[in-house]
Amino acid sequence: MASLPLSIDILPDDAETVGLDDAARRLRISTSRVRTLIRDHNLLAASRGGEPVIPAAFFGPGGLAKHIEGLVTTLLDGGYTRDEALEWLFTEQEDLGLRPADALHTDSAREVIRRAQAQAF
C-alpha cells in the first residue's frame, strides 16, 4: 500500500486528533476511503507519534466540517503545501480570536474561507 502524504507533526499540542479508524467510523466509510481522501488531498493528516492522525476540528456532527474539503482545496490550489495549509489552519487569527480550523464551527466560517482565498493567491 502506498504511503500517505502526511504533514510533519506541526499540530499544536492542544489540537485533538483522531486515528484513521476513528475517522472512518465518524464518516461512516471504510478506512481505505479515508486514506483515499488524504491521498487525493481532500483531507489533511499529520504524523503524530509515527501514526497518521486527522485533526478532530475537521469533523462536525454529521461527518466532515461543512467547509473543510473546499478550504483545503483552496489552500492547496493557491500554492500552499500540505504543511503550510495545516499550519495556517492551526495558527490563531488575532482579530478572530480563533484558529481557522476552529472557526469553521462558528459564524466566522465564511470569513475563514474568504481569508484563505485572499491569502492563497
**pLDDT tens-digit profile of 34-73?**
999 999 999 999 999 889 999 999 999 889 998 899 899 9
CA–CA gap between residue 75 and residue 30 (Å, rounded): 26
Query: Is residue 59 situated within a structural domain?
Result: yes
Residue 4 forms part of a structural domain:
no
> What's the distance, Cα to Cα, between the start and end of the chain in Å?
34
The pTM assigned to this predicted structure is: 0.88
Residues belonging to the chain:
121
Residue 72 in any domain: the answer is: yes
Indicate whether 102 belongs to any domain: yes
Q: Domain of 49?
A: 17-120
In a domain, 26, yes or no: yes
Cell numbers linked to 82: 500540505
Residue 42 lies in a domain: yes
9 in any annotated domain: no
State how many domains the chain has: 1
Is residue 7 situated within a structural domain? no
